[in-house]
A and B are shown apart, each in its own frame.
Chain A
């Protein structure tokens, strides 16, 4: 296996879930299952990616996604280098195409990229033979976030198909929402979005989701309430009048959850604005699976790294066992 232009059964890169089939997505989740256990071990390391070099290219601030990827890489024994925009050549005005060429010249195997512009991950993937994993590009996609969300939903309900999932909040600016919409639809879920009309993007129904206008209606309807972070700058942009108003109209409170079905769970991609989009008693309450999401994040990212490096889903158990 060489680093040059290698391809797994999932393609060279993971840019978004829009391009994957439901079967491929389920296969990634299946692959993540055996990797979950590695994180529970005392020595959390297997040699699956030994000798592989991975660059974490984070050109936009990120804490949990970057750390989650780093843990996934280290637990698979990859050699990693972190680049962030601050202090890098990017800050000195280097273009993305030059960054790509320079990385390639160093003969790396994979790039995990976070970037503020939609399409940046694909831009990079089209220009270098290394595997590219999108860790969030602008408002386009954040596929590993959606995969860990899907895994969390599957863990709870046994299957994604047939479940009703409502994504609440700033759909317009959210790459998490887009990746979840594609992933959920491809896995057979019913998907709705709910939020102020100023933050619901044009033509959202054409993607195959329904729009619910009230949070009460959303809570009654869904099995999974996916609460998005309300970025504070949205207020300055004039999308919502105030945080207080947002909380009043769309905030998820335990009082509002009184209308929910018994099994209904609450997800949030983090970081949370407690008291804005979600109240603390919900975030920390019995319906919340927010911390299991974070745990699953490492397993899903291990699975993605393993698969793009040429691993096969049915051999994941062996790969893990061989390490013992």
Chain B
């Protein structure tokens, strides 16, 4: 019986229904059928012992770079989706800054179909939803054919990596996207203010002789976009919020009802600019790791719900590209396979955020925020689930990643919380092999 199974004795955390209790979960034909105690289940259905594990809605990451088409030496749709499944994600959003970019329906359709093709061949991972370019060629000038892109499967638009600078274009995007009920995702950065910058602007950058990116390069764009969202009624989602100023701007704007949301990345919550010392290119990303005060503000933003969700900004790069002078190394780190454990270690273990809330921020919240399926175990919903051991300690070994790339600042970290199984539509797409045979 494909797409059917019974998970027994797990701690079921379903933020969508406020549930946090030991239950059995019956999945039939790819859908959740029952979440109850002592479910017998039909004959012949596979049973999976989940005692000691958390059973939760599959994680959702709305910010992932899959590099295909164009940079398949860094990552492909297949390896990226598998990497996501290994990290407990059942849905990921693929950014459009590929080569060519996802600015026409054929390119968007390719990404969606490629993921489905590998899934049919038994090599699938998380579901892949393409995010389309907001402007043609990501050039920030002419709006893409958003209607056609949505028809082809796009779930949002963004020029991620190429911040939308022109305020008139941003305004039109926030107006036009409302016809389709999709958000505009913005990499908030004023490129003129950050020109040439490779890390946070601060005394650390001064000592290292590296050019800085000031907090204001993010905050000024967030402030502008908030006013444009207020003007238009559109939904602007601020990607990878890194500064205390941006968190505060979003907090105040949300209080007065502006449709602005934000995401927090595990690395901005776990690390500061100090990680760059020694010219460590695996700590080079954009927006950069910031000061201790910024790190605390982003954490607090997620804890308070001002930043509604966690997103990794998974950005694979080949090791040769990172093995060079700091100025010349590309921005970005991989994050899918470490996100859950890093967040448990940073937020749950110190007692700052209950595990229930972390699951919410990583599944239910992004689904609700973006208006997509998932993030729930309610009967009838799609059986996208993750099983993880919240207490298992392990050491991050980049060589074991499913991702094609290894560029992580968390290599060698002792972390807590390990994904044991990821189920997409009732089908197991990842299983921790150290758990022994099925």
Contact = CB atoms under 8 A, between A and B. Distances in A.
Interface string B418-438: 000000000000000000000
A137 B327 CA distance: 11
Contacts of B205: 201-203
| Of listed B208, B209, B212, B325, residue having the most chain A CB within 10 A | B209
Contact of B323 (A97, A122, A178): A97
Nearest to A171: B206
Contacts of A315: none
A314 interface: no
Interface string B182-205: 000000000000000000011111
Contacts of B326: 117-119, 123
Interface residues of A, number: 25
B323 A202 contact: no
B325 A119 contact: yes
Contact of A201 (B206, B278, B325): B206
Interface in B212-239: 212, 214
Contacts of A43: none
A115 interface: yes
Contacts of A3: none
Contacts, number: 71
Given A117-B327, A140-B208, A122 B279 contact: yes
Interface in B283-340: 320, 323-328
A203 B279 contact: no
Interface in A105-140: 115-120, 122-123, 137-140
Given A117-B326, A117-B328, A122-B279, A137 B209 contact: yes
B414 to A, nearest CB: 24
A175 B279 CA distance: 16
A198 to B, nearest CB: 13
B71 interface: no
A165 to B, nearest CB: 18
| Of listed A119, A122, A137, residue having the most chain B CB within 10 A | A119
B206 A207 contact: yes
A97 B324 CA distance: 7
Interface string A176-195: 00100000000000000000
Contacts of A95: 320, 323-324
B210 A203 contact: no
A141 B324 CA distance: 18
A202 B202 contact: yes
Contacts of B279: 118-119, 122-123
B202 A178 contact: no
A255 interface: no
A49 B328 CA distance: 35
Interface residues of B, number: 22
Given A97-B323, A117-B328, A207-B207, A122 B278 contact: yes
B324 A119 contact: no
Given A18-B207, A119-B279, A202 B325 contact: no
B210 A139 contact: yes
A262 interface: no
Interface in A32-74: none
B206 to A, nearest CB: 4
Interface in B361-380: none
A103 interface: no
A235 interface: no
A267 B106 CA distance: 64
Given A206-B203, A207-B203, A118 B208 contact: yes
Given A123-B325, A202-B201, A139 B209 contact: yes
Interface in A137-167: 137-141
Given A202-B201, A202-B202, A207-B203, A140 B209 contact: yes
Given A96-B324, A97-B323, A119 B203 contact: no
Contacts of A119: 208-210, 279, 325-327
A272 interface: no
A206 B205 CA distance: 12
A203 B202 contact: yes
A240 interface: no
A204 interface: yes
Given A118-B326, A123-B326, A138-B327, 14 more contacts: A96-B324, A115-B325, A116-B327, A119-B325, A137-B209, A138-B210, A141-B209, A202-B202, A202-B214, A203-B202, A203-B205, A204-B206, A206-B206, A207-B206
Interface of A: 18, 95-97, 115-120, 122-123, 137-141, 175, 178, 201-204, 206-207
22 contacts: A95-B324, A118-B279, A119-B208, A122-B278, A122-B279, A123-B279, A123-B324, A123-B326, A137-B209, A138-B210, A139-B209, A140-B209, A178-B207, A178-B209, A201-B206, A202-B212, A202-B214, A203-B203, A203-B204, A204-B206, A207-B206, A207-B207
In the A-B complex, the 8 residue pairs with the smallest Cβ-Cβ separation, listed nearest first, are A203-B203, A140-B209, A119-B279, A139-B209, A118-B209, A206-B203, A117-B325, A201-B206
